[in-house]
Amino acid sequence: MAARPRSELNPATTAPDVAPDLTAADLAVVTARGITRAFGDTTVLDGVDLRIRRGEVVALLGASGSGKSTLLRVLAGLDSGADGEVRTSGRTAVVFQEHRLLPWKRVADNIALGLRGPDLARRTSAALAGVGLADRGRAWPAELSGGQAQRVALARALVREPDILLLDEPFAALDALNRLRMQALFFRLRGEHDFAALLVTHDVNEALLLADRLLVLEDGRIAEDTPVPLPHPRTQDDPGFGALRRHLLTRLRVPLVPDRS
Amino acid sequence: MTATPVRAPRTGRERTRPQQRSRPARATRWRRIITPLLVVVLWEGASRAGILPPDKLSAPSDVLAAGWRLAADGTLWHNLLDSLVRAVIGLAIGGGLGLALGSVAGLLRLGDDLVDPPVQMARMLPHLGLVPLLLIWVGIGEPLKISLVALGAFFPVYLNTYGGIRGIDERLVEAARTCGLSAAARLRHVVLPGALPSLFLGLRLAFGAGWLSLVVGEQVNADSGLGFMMMEAREFAQTDVVVLGLLIYALLGLLSDLALRTAEGRALAWRRGLEAS
Ligand SMILES: Nc1ncnc2c1ncn2[C@@H]1O[C@H](COP(=O)(O)OP(=O)(O)OP(=O)(O)O)[C@@H](O)[C@H]1O
Ligand SMILES: [Mg+2]
C-alpha cells in the first residue's frame, strides 16, 4: 500500500529474509526497513527495522524522547520527512494519546468519519457498543469523560476494521483504574477483531499484559526484541511476569527499587 | 465569581449562594432598564421645561412624532431601503473578498506569503481616512458608499478567516488524515467547522464596521439614505429627524447583531457542551 521505494537498503540485514522466509514475509502487515528521521542536526531514528506479523501485538518501549512517537507517525504515513521503506498491507488505523475527536461532530459522526457504505449506522453503533458506549452516539465529544472519549477514539479506529492498529500511549492520560479497564477492553477487542497492533507505551506492566513481543527503541534503533511467552489472559502475578518485568526495567535503565537520591 | 474565603460551613450562607447567582438572570433584570428610562424621562422633562431648546435637541416625544410623520409619507422607507441596499452590497463585496483572500492566505503557504503582507500593511490605514482619495477615484455617487462599507467589512472578515484557519488544531487534521479523509474532505469536515467560530466573530465585527462606514459615507455626500436624511434635517435644524436617524442606525446595528448571534448559536451548538464543561 504505502510503499516508498528505498534506494540504499542495507543488504546485510535484509538479504537473509528474502528467499527462505517468504511465508513470514507474506504474513507481515507492516514491514519497515532503514527508517531514518532527523530534526535539524539531531537524528532521532537511525535505521529502524521492524516487522509486525498479522494479528501480532507488539509493544514499543523506550525512554522519553527516544523517538517512539516519531516512528509511529512514520509508520502511519503522517511524516513525509522520513527516509526508509515502509510497507503496510491492509488497512491502518491510529489511536493517539489524546482522543482527537472533532469537537463539532457528535460521537457517532466522529466514528463514521470518512467511512462510506449502506450499513454505516449499524457499523457505527456496533463499534460504540463494542467499547461500552452504546447510548452515547448523540453526545458531543465535550460531554464525555476522558476515559469515554478515549474509548470513542478506539471505536473510531476499530470501525475501520484495521489490519494494523497503531497506538501511541493510548491510555497514558487516564487514571490508574481507567487504564486497567482500557487494557482489559483492548484485550477483549483484540480477541474479537484479530488486528495486529503496535502499542507505544511507557508502562512496562501494560506491555507485558498485552503484547506478544516487546521492542525497545534506543539510540534511534530497535535495541531489543523480546517475545513474551506468557499465556493469555495474563495477570501481574503470573510466574515469569516478574522476571520479564525486571529484565525490561533494567534494559530501560529504571532502578528496580526506589532510591533516595 | 468573587473569591469566597474557605471557612467552616455556614449553612445559611451556603443556601443563599446559588440563588444569588441565578437572580440577575430573572428577577432583577428589570433593574437594568431603570437608568435608561430615567434618562429618557429627564430628557423629556428638560425639553418640556425649556432647558433643552428644540433647535439643539428635540424631545423624545418629538422624535417619535417625526418618525411617525416620515414613515407615513414614505420618506423614511425609501431612505432606509437605499441605506440597506448599500450596506448589503458593500458587505457582500468586502466580506466575500475577505473570505476569499483570508482562505487563500490561511490555507496556502504561497498565498500567505503573497497576500498577507500587503493586507497587514493596508489594515493599518484607517479606512475612513481614505474618503478624500475615494472621492477623487470614484466620485461622490453610489460607488463611494459601497466602497467604504466594503473596506470596513473586508479587514475583520479577512483577519478572522485567516486567524481561524491558522488556529485549527493540526492534530485534528492529522487524525482526519488517518481516517482516510481527502484534502477536500478535511477542508469540509475539519477546517471549515474549526474556523467557523472565528468567521462568525469576523462577520459581527464586519457588520459593525460596515454600519459605521455607511454613516460616514452617507453624510459626506448623498442624495438619499439615512445619512442624507439626517444631513438634510440638520440644514433646517430639525433635530428630531437627526436623532431619529441615529436611533434607526442603532436599531439596525442591534438587529443585525441579533440575527448573527442567533445564526451563530445554531451553527455552533457543539460549543455549548464545551462551555458547560
Ligand atoms: N516536529 C518536531 N520537530 C523537532 N523535533 C522533534 C519533532 N518531533 C519530535 N522531535 C524530537 O524528536 C525526539 C523524539 O520525539 P518523540 O516524540 O518521537 O519521542 P517519544 O519517544 O515519543 O517520547 P515520549 O515517550 O516522551 O512520548 C525528541 O527529542 C523531540 O524533541
Ligand atoms: Mg511520544
CA B175 to chain centroid, in Å, comes to 36
Which residues 153-212 of chain A have a CB within 8 Å of chain B? 156, 160
Decide if A151 contacts A127 (C-beta within 8 A). no
Please judge whether B270 and A142 are an interchain contact, meaning their C-beta atoms are less than 8 angstroms apart. yes
Would B275 be classed as within a structural domain?
no
Q: Which atom of ligand 1 is nearest to the CA of A70?
A: 18
Q: How confident is residue B274, by pLDDT bands cut at 50, 70 and 90?
A: low
Return the pLDDT at A6.
Answer: 39
Return the pLDDT at A239.
Answer: 85
Q: Which of B273, B112, B270, B104 is nearest to B193 (CA)?
A: B270
Query: What is residue A36's three-state secondary structure?
Result: strand
* Joined grid coordinates for residue B179: 481516517
* Residues of A in Cβ contact (< 8 Å) with B180: 114-115, 160
Would A228 be classed as within a structural domain?
yes
Atom 10 of ligand 1: nearest residue by CA position: A39
One-letter amino acid at A93 equals A
Would A118 be classed as within a structural domain?
no
Which residues 230-259 of chain B have a CB within 8 Å of chain A? none
Would B147 be classed as within a structural domain?
yes
Judged by a CB distance cut-off of 8 A, whether residue B183 touches chain A is no
Please judge whether A160 and B179 are an interchain contact, meaning their C-beta atoms are less than 8 angstroms apart. yes
Question: What's the 3-state SS for A184-243?
Answer: HHHHHHHHHHCCEEEEECCCHHHHHHHCCEEEEEECCEEEEEEECCCCCCCCCCCCCHHH
Q: What is the pLDDT along chain A (261 residues), one digit of tens a residue?
A: 444 443 333 333 333 344 444 455 568 999 999 999 999 999 999 999 999 999 999 999 999 999 999 999 999 999 999 999 999 998 999 999 999 999 999 999 999 999 988 899 999 999 999 999 999 999 999 999 989 999 999 999 999 999 999 999 999 888 888 889 899 999 999 999 889 999 999 889 999 999 999 999 999 999 999 999 888 888 888 888 888 888 888 888 877 666 655
Spatial separation of the C-alpha atoms in residues A17 and B154, rounded to whole Å: 63
* Joined grid coordinates for residue A26: 507474506
* Residues of B in Cβ contact (< 8 Å) with A102: 172, 175-176, 189-190, 193
Give B199-234 pLDDT, tens digit per residue.
Answer: 999 999 999 999 999 988 888 877 889 999 999 998
CATH of the domain at B86: 1.10.3720.10
List the single residue in A102, A114, A142 with the smallest CB-CB distance to B180: A114
Would A68 be classed as within a structural domain?
yes
| Residues whose CB falls within 8 Å of the CB of residue B150, separated by 6 or more in sequence, listed in order | B90, B91, B93, B94, B97
Question: Cβ(A104) to ligand 1 under 6 A?
Answer: no
For B70, the domain range is 59-267
List the single residue in B176, B177, B193 with the smallest CB-CB distance to A104: B193
Count of structural domains, chain A: 1
Does A55 or B7 have the greater pLDDT score?
A55
Return the pLDDT at A223.
Answer: 92
* Joined grid coordinates for residue B217: 459615507
pLDDT of B113 > 70? The answer is yes
pLDDT of B180 > 50? The answer is yes
Would B49 be classed as within a structural domain?
no
pLDDT of B1 > 70? The answer is no
Would B19 be classed as within a structural domain?
no
Question: Cβ(A37) to ligand 1 under 6 A?
Answer: no
CATH of the domain at A200: 3.40.50.300
Please judge whether B176 and A102 are an interchain contact, meaning their C-beta atoms are less than 8 angstroms apart. yes
* Residues of A in Cβ contact (< 8 Å) with B171: 96, 98, 100
Would A229 be classed as within a structural domain?
yes
Pairing assessment for the beta strands A221-227 and A92-95 based on DSSP bridges: unpaired
Return the pLDDT at B169.
Answer: 95
Mean pLDDT of B119-147: 90
Atom 22 of ligand 1: nearest residue by CA position: A69
Please judge whether A76 and B178 are an interchain contact, meaning their C-beta atoms are less than 8 angstroms apart. yes
pLDDT of B107 > 50? The answer is yes
Does B14 or B154 have the greater pLDDT score?
B154
Please state the φ and ψ torsions of residue A223, each to the nearest 5 degrees. Answer: -90, -15
pLDDT of B163 > 80? The answer is yes
Return the pLDDT at B24.
Answer: 54
* Residues of B in Cβ contact (< 8 Å) with A140: 270, 273-274
Would A166 be classed as within a structural domain?
yes
Q: How confident is residue B32, by pLDDT bands cut at 50, 70 and 90?
A: confident
Question: Cβ(A148) to ligand 1 under 6 A?
Answer: no
Would B46 be classed as within a structural domain?
no
Would A156 be classed as within a structural domain?
no
For A72, the domain range is 28-104+162-252
CA B96 to chain centroid, in Å, comes to 16
pLDDT of B19 > 70? The answer is no
Would B45 be classed as within a structural domain?
no
Mean pLDDT of B241-260: 92
Radius of gyration of chain B (CA): 25
How far from each other are the two terminal CA atoms of chain B, in whole angstroms?
16
Q: How far is B194 from chain A (nearest CA, A)?
A: 8
Please judge whether B274 and A100 are an interchain contact, meaning their C-beta atoms are less than 8 angstroms apart. no
Q: Taking all residues of chain B, what is their mean pLDDT, rounded to a whole number?
A: 87
Question: Cβ(A67) to ligand 1 under 6 A?
Answer: yes
Would B174 be classed as within a structural domain?
yes
Return the pLDDT at A115.
Answer: 92
Return the pLDDT at B221.
Answer: 74
Question: How far away, in angstroms, is A72 Cα from ligand 1 center?
Answer: 11
Would A176 be classed as within a structural domain?
yes
H/E stretch holding A93 reads strand A92-95
Count of structural domains, chain B: 1
A121-124: long-range contacts at Cβ-Cβ below 8 A with a sequence spacing of 24 or more? Answer: A123/A159, A124/A159
Give B38-77 pLDDT, tens digit per residue.
Answer: 999 999 999 999 898 888 889 999 999 999 999 999 999 9
Q: What percent of chain B has pLDDT over 70?
A: 88
Return the pLDDT at A16.
Answer: 39
